[in-house]
Structure 1
Amino acid sequence: MAMHAPQNDTRFRFMESHDAFEHAGGLNEWDDNRYHQLEKKAHFHGAIASHSIAGKVQVTRETMDSPCVEQICHVPLDSIVIVNVRSEEDVLLNGRYVNADTFHISSGRSFHAVAKAPIEALMLTVSKAAFLETFKTEAFLNIESKPFERFIQPSTDTQIDFELNLKSHLSNVCAGIGQAPFSSNLDKVFSCVQEILDFESSTRFVVPPSTRTYIVEKSCEFFARHVQDEDIGVLDLCNHLRISRRTLQYSFEDVLGMTPLNYVRSVRLNTARKLLMSSPQETIQGAALDAGFSHLGRFSKYYQEFFGELPSQTVSRLGAHRRHH
């Protein structure tokens, strides 16, 4: 199974980052991709190896060595993304716990993942037109124009073959071995994808969301839409979901290992840091207000406690870096 592409229309990238915001910029197959560090003063280290072919296919391996990281993004409707994650602890992905035995396939849908331990993610992004042309998709009804997502658990052999061949393809491209865009390893990855699609109608079952994971997932969605509004807090989450504060508290502590208040504050602090790092013209006060902090002194205190430096130090450090580059 192969897809034809111009021999010279191929690009390999490798990047390492010690900042979650910079790391997020390395995944260009996502829309509005954001990473949030959810643990105070956690050392972040991430790496991305990616091979893009003719604007139709992107093969990606992502690793993060940091504890407790959240990713929020959107998969474009004109692409189909296949994700397989591996971690010492199960990863919460769109309300379900997944690991190496589960493949998530989606298009036109929000993507929300929380990893509480270091993680490796193997990803294959294919334009929807190329996907429909290459694979048999009888089990996926109406995917041409509608958003969809599937959680599929194929055979163990398929899981192993997908991992080995995707990694081998990236290693060979990086080393300059086999310059053709579609190597034998990538062709085998495509064969694995077809096996995964064929497993759609199998009896293997991905555990549905529990009540607590559902509460956390919907709370995160709600808060992501209101991060700039300082008046939105824990009680608003309770009212929105029609649950008690105790139920919300227990759900967050069970699923994320933190209180709802700490989650809300950490996301707001990450939002402010992203604003400071992405725009040289952004003021500290403006970033604080846009992230839902009206009290500048309190914001600076929380920021230093969480990131280990004052907002002014972040701005100064980035200014020095830009002047030298």
Structure 2
Amino acid sequence: MPLTSNPRPKDWASFAPFAPFQGESPRIRKVQAHDADDHARNLTAWEQRYDQVTRGPFHGTLTELRMPAMQVFMEHTSQAVRQSCCVWPDAFWFGVPGGANTAGERSGMNARINGRLGDADTIMVRPGNREFELLTPADYAIYGIVIKRDSLLVTASQLGCRIDWAQLERAEVLHVAESARLACQQTLARLILQGRADSEGQPVASVACAEQAVMLAVLSMLDASEVDSAVSNSFMRRQRIVARARDYVLGHRDQLVTVPELCERLHVSRRTLQYCFEDVLAISPIQYLRLIRLNGARRELRERCSDARTVRDIAADWGFWHFSQFSSDYRKLFGQSPSESLRQRMH
């Protein structure tokens, strides 16, 4: 079902821009990180936690621009990452995949939002103050747009767009016209990526024009969009099983939780558990159990470990009783030893 019903054709070019921003001009902000959780904290005003999924050293880059009515950014992550995200209240987030990867090519894999797989013809959307989960592949780039709800509503009204706001708040994946998606990508690229080698800290010349361009690009996509609402009851049940499994593992982090134990606790067969994880997270339960504990151990080594606690103490806290195996698995996933992570924190 389309999101908009238009009483008259829209004249996008004649749309009056917002009043000029009063105060200091917003500036382009660029940051890099070599840890997934550090990277998650770099995005302003979001509540996030990232778990690294694929093996190797992590490198993340973020180019961000904040304006009075919106936040625009370009994010690149070198490894596959499971992201738990929550946008600031009274806003909408739009995720537009398809930015160039490090080879200058479009990523061949797509992200999942709450377990739902997007494709080349879709964008992602979630309202503010509502947690959602992303699973992004390795070498992945995405444009993000967060717009204040009231600003989007006012602009849509000025343009004659009748958006079903209740439907938009429930949506996760939107099918959009290719021309509108490409135009949005080009708008964002011009705004935050052109001249990025020498634009660090430079003010944006015209905030009003920048906000107008982004708002028009987003509404152009919404104007020709269709909500992908085909979520079966069986898929929602699989989502709930995966969420319950995660809660159980984190609630018993000092124990070596096994797949048979999870099956018993969740009252499902091993085959059902396997299907649930493959469908929602595209990994097996065994992989997930190992990844969530390794990422938890790394987080504690880097952030909350007191000087009196050793690497072995932290490993035991996360159910790793065979220290040599823990060290080997840790190095394979993160590209460094647990002791190297601890030294980074101490310095």
Range class of TM-score, shorter chain: 0.7 to 0.9
Structure 1 counterpart SS, 2:165: coil
Structure 2 counterpart SS, 1:10: coil
Q: Quick one: which amino acid aligns to residue 15 of structure 1?
A: V
For the Cα contact (< 8 Å) 2:115–2:281, is it kept in 1?
no
Which of 1 and 2 has higher RCO (CA within 8 Å, sep 6+)? 2
For the Cα contact (< 8 Å) 2:85–2:134, is it kept in 1?
no
Distance 2:215 2:111 in 1: 25
Q: How high is the TM-score relative to the length of structure 2?
A: 0.75
Match of 1:182 in 2: 208
Match of 2:149 in 1: 128
Structure 1 counterpart SS, 2:207: coil
The Cα shift of 1:163 comes to 0.3
Identity of aligned residues (%): 24
Match of 2:74 in 1: 61
Distance 1:285 1:236 in 2: 25
For the Cα contact (< 8 Å) 1:91–1:116, is it kept in 2?
yes
The alpha-carbon distance between structure 1 residues 183 and 52, as it changes in their structure 2 partners (threshold 3 A), is same
The Cα shift of 1:212 comes to 8.3
The Cα shift of 1:194 comes to 1.5
**CA deviation map 1:179-199 (0-9, x unaligned):** 122335x42321121133334
Match of 2:93 in 1: 81
**CA deviation map 1:97-145 (0-9, x unaligned):** 11342122211322211123421111111233333333346411398xx
Q: Quick one: which amino acid aligns to residue 133 of structure 2?
A: H
RMSD: 3.2
Structure 2 counterpart SS, 1:158: helix
Distance 2:232 2:77 in 1: 26
Which of 29, 48, 51 is the aligned partner of 1:36? 51
The alpha-carbon distance between structure 1 residues 315 and 296, as it changes in their structure 2 partners (threshold 3 A), is farther
The alpha-carbon distance between structure 1 residues 142 and 302, as it changes in their structure 2 partners (threshold 3 A), is closer
1:92 lines up with 2:87 in the alignment:
no
Greater radius of gyration (CA): 2
**CA deviation map 1:271-308 (0-9, x unaligned):** 22122222463734664465x32637364454344334
**CA deviation map 1:138-163 (0-9, x unaligned):** 411398xxx64342112111101100
Match of 1:15 in 2: 31
Distance 1:228 1:58 in 2: 35
Distance 1:267 1:48 in 2: 24
Gap runs ≥5 in structure 1: none
Q: How high is the TM-score relative to the length of structure 1?
A: 0.80
For the Cα contact (< 8 Å) 2:273–2:285, is it kept in 1?
yes
Q: Number of matched residues? A: 308
Match of 1:293 in 2: 319
For the Cα contact (< 8 Å) 2:171–2:228, is it kept in 1?
no
The alpha-carbon distance between structure 1 residues 129 and 270, as it changes in their structure 2 partners (threshold 3 A), is same
For the Cα contact (< 8 Å) 2:126–2:171, is it kept in 1?
yes
The alpha-carbon distance between structure 1 residues 154 and 304, as it changes in their structure 2 partners (threshold 3 A), is closer
The alpha-carbon distance between structure 1 residues 135 and 241, as it changes in their structure 2 partners (threshold 3 A), is farther
**CA deviation map 1:8-60 (0-9, x unaligned):** 241321112222122111122421x11111123x2322211000113x31111
Match of 1:234 in 2: 259
Distance 2:44 2:83 in 1: 14
Which of 61, 65, 73 is the aligned partner of 1:47? 61
Which residues in structure 2 correspond to 1:119-268 (within 5 Å)?
119-136=140-157, 138-141=163-166, 148-171=170-193, 174=196, 175=199, 176=202, 179-183=205-209, 186-199=211-224, 204=226, 206=228, 208-209=230-231, 217-226=239-248, 227-230=250-253, 231=255, 233-235=258-260, 237-239=262-264, 242-253=267-278, 256=281, 258-268=283-293
Which stretch shows the higher mean deviation, 274-283 or 95-104? 274-283
Which of 94, 106, 131 is the aligned partner of 2:126? 106
The alpha-carbon distance between structure 1 residues 103 and 142, as it changes in their structure 2 partners (threshold 3 A), is closer
Match of 2:137 in 1: 116
**CA deviation map 1:228-259 (0-9, x unaligned):** 41355534543566431023224545665542
Distance 1:287 1:110 in 2: 28
Structure 2 counterpart SS, 1:34: strand
Distance 1:61 1:116 in 2: 16
Gap runs ≥5 in structure 2: 1-14, 99-106
